[in-house]
Amino acid sequence: MENLFQIFDIDEVKAASYKLSVIVPLFNEESVLPIFHDRLKIALSGLQSEWEVIYVDDGSTDRSHLILQQLRAESLKVGVARFSRNFGKEEAMSAGLRLATGDAAVIIDSDLQDPPELIPEMIEAWLGGADIVNMRRRHRSGESWLKKVTAHAFYRVINRLSDVPVPADVGDFRLLSRRAINALNLLEERNRFMKGLFAWIGYKHVTLDYNRDARAAGKTKWRYWRLWNFALEGITGFSVAPLKIATYLGSACAGMAFFYAMYFLLKTLLVGESVKGFPTLIVTVMILGGLQLMAIGIIGEYLGRLFIESKRRPLYLLEDYQPPSPSKEEENP
Ligand code: UDP
Ligand code: MG
């Protein structure tokens, strides 16, 4: 049976022309933005289709905004959204997905780590029937070994814990079909762990491999503390396993404490007890205290997220949005 929820027929889209949206979240990228735009333009010029680029300026404080204004003045295919402050990349991507009007959207970093030249290949996979084209990094050049090791560990952990598989080494560089975009736009949660959300919506995923280049200029916006928080967000947003771990650890401890108590009881009854065992006492108290604090901490993480969700604040606030305007009249004002 045909999929009832298929919004359009792929062959129809192929035959007719389609429109591609390119979503670029950026934060303080003045040094790479002009180079990025040139490379993107060249990569897109080979396409048969119509396209638009939506830059989401995540509250940049450098000259990025001025550069974007200039890019928009040069081409009407460029739309520029500006956040009222720095909300974070996940929020910027969400904004881009809501503003995109294309039949498919590509999310791409502005630092040229994701080569725009791969976009035609991604479109081909989409036309072949994929709803989500994930781009898996074959190498991560220009990234420290610590980042590589921690990233690797993160994917292992999250896949152990989470209910939906999050493909390893797939970044945010990906293509989404219109129905995948619509599905994502339905998700209103504040916990925007996008890698998890992409996996959660399901549909047909295709994964292509590519070599991730080093950043063309400027420096990474991720500090380790931020990455750690990102990982926590991912784990707590997609799994309640840590809550269970706390329960199991607590039960195991209580069980051990019970047997330990039995042992002492028997020992005292059979051989009597001198005033020894002070170290055992301290160790037991400290272990139990630590476990309790840990369990409370885990509950706190979830409770904190619940608190944030319950306020139902908007995900981001726009300072302004200048959409790409396809009309010809505006070409020469
Ligand atoms: N970015 C963003 N908001 C932020 C941090 C980063 O929009 O708060 C953008 C950034 O401008 C870039 C992309 O997200 O286009 C990836 O960021 P970065 O290169 O710093 O991360 P990395 O590639 O090192 O993981
Ligand atoms: Mg980067």
Q: For a substitution probing ligand 1, which of 27, 91, 223 has the most ligand atoms within 8 Å of its CB?
A: 27
Residue 87 CA: nearest ligand 1 atom is 8
How many Cβ atoms sit within 10 Å of the Cβ of residue 29? 29
321, 99 contact by CB (below 8 A): yes
Q: Which residue has the tokens 């726009």?
A: 318
Q: In what order do the strands lie in the sheet with 205-212?
A: 205-212, 132-140, 170-177, 104-107, 19-26, 50-57, 78-83, 318-322
Q: Give the Å distance between the CA of 110 and the centre of ligand 1.
A: 8
The pLDDT, as a whole number, for residue 262 is 84
Assembly ipTM: 0.91
Q: Give the Å distance between the CA of 157 and the centre of ligand 2.
A: 23
The pLDDT, as a whole number, for residue 333 is 42
The pLDDT, as a whole number, for residue 326 is 63
pLDDT beneath 50, residues of the chain? 1-5, 15, 328-333
Q: For a substitution probing ligand 1, which of 22, 24, 26, 172 has the most ligand atoms within 8 Å of its CB?
A: 26
